[in-house]
Amino acid sequence: MRRWRRTLLKASLVGLVPAVLVGAAVLYLTWSDNLSMTIRDENGVDWAYWLMLGASWALPTFVLVTGVAAVILRFVRSD
């Protein structure tokens, strides 16, 4: 059981980097390409919608990369 905990911890650290990069890229792209004024307009910023867009890409990326990394780490170190 301890081996899986360490593997999941390492895999989650591996999955965190691409998730942050993908989430930040989506936030940047939606902020810069805001032609329909859905994120920001003269009244302010719709923070809930904008952050939901970033999280909706970051969370699946994190889960997918963490899962793949956990399987790879587990089978590479099968002792």
SS3 state of residue 68? helix
Q: Specify if 42 maps to a domain.
A: yes
Q: Specify if 5 maps to a domain.
A: no
Give yes or no for a contact between 17 and 69, defined as CB atoms under 8 angstroms apart: no
Instruction: Check pLDDT > 90 for residue 69.
Output: yes
SS3 percent helix, strand, coil of the chain, rounded to 5, is 75, 5, 20
- Looking at residue 1, its pLDDT comes to 67
Structure tokens at 11: 């895999």
pLDDT digits (tens, 9 = 90+) for 5-56: 888 999 999 999 999 999 999 999 999 988 888 888 888 899 999 999 999 9
| Cα–Cα distance measured from residue 36 to residue 27, given in angstroms and rounded to the nearest whole number | 15
Q: pTM, whole model, 2 decimals?
A: 0.84
Number of structural domains (the chain) is: 1
Instruction: Check pLDDT > 90 for residue 2.
Output: no
| Domain range enclosing 38 | 12-76
Average pLDDT over residues 59-74: 95
- Looking at residue 59, its pLDDT comes to 97
